[in-house]
Amino acid sequence: MPTALITGATSGLGAAFARRLAADAFSLVLVSRDALRLAQTADQLKLRYGVDVEVLPADLATDDGLTRVESRLREGVDLLVNNAGFGHRRSFPEVPVEQEVRMLKVHCEAVLRLTLAVLPGMRKRERGAVVNVASVAAFFAHNTYSASKAWVVSFSEAAAAEVGDPRIKIMALCPGFVRTEFHQRAAVDTSGIPGFLWLKADDVVREAMRDLALGKRVSVPDLRYKAIVAVGRMVPRGLQARVSAKIGR
């Protein structure tokens, strides 16, 4: 039975990945800061899908948390989903530097270190996959969030090319607005976002798993967001940044 480790596994896309992979008969290792919610999520998945679920409480913004997850990955995992992340309510440079550094720690350093920890075992077994959750924001210059997600996309593409083994897949997942707790936790007002731009977490995960099976290095779920990214790439960077800043506010 294959094993998947998912960070940020108790809500949003992380929880959707857990449901999908449990339904596909994966054993799960769930990582989150919230130990109580982690245990509740594990119990629900065991009861519904009858799979083995291991819980690993860890704060990926700390060295201790990262080290604990790295150690578990070195024991052997078939699929790593780097999903943990968060947003800021305020825009750069209004966000305190400590919060900006924490974001870089979770979005960039954790993705780097956990990917490096899991790859030796995958290369030895000659199979495995890593999904690094980024965002459509990666393609639009706005704030530290978009910059960190742009790093995730670039890193994932580079890592896939460097590994150079089609049996080991590394993919950046770039969804748009998804109905999760993400914006609520960041205290972001979403009332101005048109309804047609919202995606369902389970739909995003379904497309992500399809694109992973196809060997794609970057997955942008939904035709609407594929079109938005395509148009955005044709817009001058200066204009793109102004529009992104206005939408972000």
Rounded distance between C-alpha atoms, residue 201 and residue 219, angstroms: 14
* Residue owning tokens 């679920």: 53
DSSP lists the bridge partners of residue 53 as 28
Rounded distance between C-alpha atoms, residue 146 and residue 137, angstroms: 5
* Residue owning tokens 């290095």: 217
Give buried/exposed letters for 96-111 (b at 16+ CB in 10 A, else e): eeeebebbebbbbebb
- Please indicate whether residue 49 is annotated as part of the active site: no
- A 10 A CB-CB count for 10 gives 23
Q: Three-state SS for 218?
A: strand
Both structure tokens of 149: 């997600």
Rounded distance between C-alpha atoms, residue 142 and residue 153, angstroms: 16
DSSP lists the bridge partners of residue 218 as 172
Catalytic residue among 17, 145, 155, 225: 145
Q: Is the peptide bond before 93 cis (omega within 30 degrees of 0)?
A: yes
Instruction: Show which residues are catalytic.
Output: 145
